Amino acid sequence: MPPAAAPGKFCIISLNMDTRYRVPRVLALAALVLHLLGGLAFIRSAAPTYDETVHLASGYSYLATGRYAMNIMDHPPLSEMLSALPLLALRPSAFSGHPYFLRALPYHYGDLFLYQNTVPAEKLLDTGRVFTFLVWTALLAWLLWSFVSRMEGAAAAWLALAVFALMPVFISNDALVTTDAAAAVFYLASFALAWRFTAAAPVEAAAKGGKKQLFVAGGELRLRAAAAGLAAGLAMASKFSMFVVPPLVAAFWIADNLRWPRLKLSALLGYIALYLAVCLLTVALIYKFDLPLYFSGLSETLKRLGQGRSSFAMGSYTVQGVWWYFPAALAVKTPLVALGAAFAGAWLAVKRFRKDYLWLLLPPAVYFAASLNTKVQIGYRHIMPVMPFLAALAGLALARLLEARRGAWLVGALLALNAASVLRAAPHFLAYFNELAGGPAGGYRYFVDSNLDWGQDVKGLAAYLKSRGNPPVVFSYFGVARPESYGIGYVPLGVVSNVELTGTGAKVCGLKDVLLAVSATNLQGTYYPDKRSFAWLKSRRPVFTAGYSIFLYDLTGDRDGMEKLAAMFDREGRNAEADCLYDRASGK
């Protein structure tokens, strides 16, 4: 029987306990609602991003033809097939007899599949987007809650969910048909289930001499090792960067057992062998037992990534990468409340150390450390596998804060500030930048490409031009979406695309208003030999910005601007168009 309490004391205790568990749950559910609404709004606002046509078309071709032919050297098939799965009900054409398919030209095939199919392009793409958005959100939320609640309790788990739900990288990238969300999901699953193997409850049993020893139920350990192997196999079949998971898990298990002995080395090696066998079997099943195809794709991808790629970061240009790219991206593209809480959680995990916390700290630390040496640095999305662990650590810190006097108010206020920062970018969550960068409007000064500008905002540009009577524009576009499919009439200039975007027949000499639309990636000259190609625009104010990533300038009365634009046409060898602009600038 509990001891008697002073008048009113029992009520205070009950209220505190109720607050401790109810407040985090309410905050998490509210954040998840915002996450779902935000993701669906982003889907409606965004045209196809650079790689989505490839992923969607490739996934559908795998399902429709049973052949892994299109994009298999660049990406494993699991995530792509999952995104394309609901398209089977729509029955679009697979174009399996088309030369683009037969010659395995993924971007051209993706363009054909999306824009020339029997099903409208937007319906095809958004069907795949909504399906995988719901799948990845549900899986990440469940895995995160299960992982943190078992390790730290329900309050920390709910608060980790609240932080996860208000991370723009998940609101946007989970809602796109890419392989990045799958990597984040299965990286978390792999280490959460691997931790469960080390956390299996020991069983006390009598030994010789009357002493007692601790043993672990073998059947339970085998099941947990197999589950971890399944998650690792799914990770490897989703993105090639996940090939690091099995060796990392095996190394963690061995190190854990050396520091905190529980199993004989021979027994542990047996469980690792089971883990690796299940992992390999999972990959083999998804690859239809053609494992050489997996390793060929992995080899080709590593070779391609080793060559590097042009990128822009905070005014610097590189092809081979810089070590500070991802730390800087993390600093300006993560909500400050989430980032601060995650660092506080890491500090608490070290201060109140127990071995379980290593499974929250080491997986993201190792992955993030490996990212510092990568040569392809084109997006914050590449460190998405780190982010669920940051949400988990943030949950630990916020749960500790909840125990303080007026802790519920403090936690609620912090998450409200977090929500306000994130919703500032709505519905353009891909372009989110925090207050250190001046918000999403200042993001293009720091990072471009898939951090901000992945070609998704042509729909916003089209809507604005429609409000002005649909005037044609000179368009320097970065992306693969077809501007004409959204009603934009345009003259292409300095387009960066993997498909031919030849314009709509508009003539520079016939332009009533000289309107120039420039994608942020091109504005910064990321993929141009001359990085200052559009530097002259940076002193000019755009008349409109579509989703923070496409800038529209009116150069009609700007003599110097028209001459600079004419010079760009001249450099492309388009002298007749340049002459029209020179004449107009001179008043002829």
Shared domain check, 459 and 402: no
Shared domain check, 235 and 125: yes
**Residue 507 is assigned to a structural domain of this protein:** yes
pTM comes to 0.93
Shared domain check, 503 and 358: no
404 pLDDT band, cuts 50/70/90, is confident
pLDDT on residue 293:
97
18 pLDDT band, cuts 50/70/90, is low
Shared domain check, 472 and 407: no
Q: Domain boundary residue among 379, 407, 423? A: 423
What contacts 196, CB < 8 A, 6 or more positions away? 150, 224, 227, 228
pLDDT on residue 14:
43
What contacts 203, CB < 8 A, 6 or more positions away? 214, 215, 216, 217
- Which two tokens mark 451? 């951090």
Shared domain check, 292 and 143: yes
Burial per residue of 101-133, b for 16 or more beta-carbon CB atoms within 10 angstroms, e otherwise: beeebbbbbbbbbbbebebebbebbbbbbbbbb
Q: Domain boundary residue among 423, 442, 476? A: 423
202-245: per-residue pLDDT in tens? 544 444 444 444 444 678 899 999 999 999 999 999 999 999 99
Shared domain check, 403 and 496: no
Domain count of the fold of the chain:
2
pLDDT on residue 217:
62
Shared domain check, 390 and 489: no
pLDDT on residue 478:
98
Shared domain check, 169 and 78: yes
Shared domain check, 359 and 284: yes
Domain interval for residue 190: 52-423
Q: CA-to-CA distance for 450 and 466, rounded, in angstroms?
A: 26
**Residue 433 is assigned to a structural domain of this protein:** no
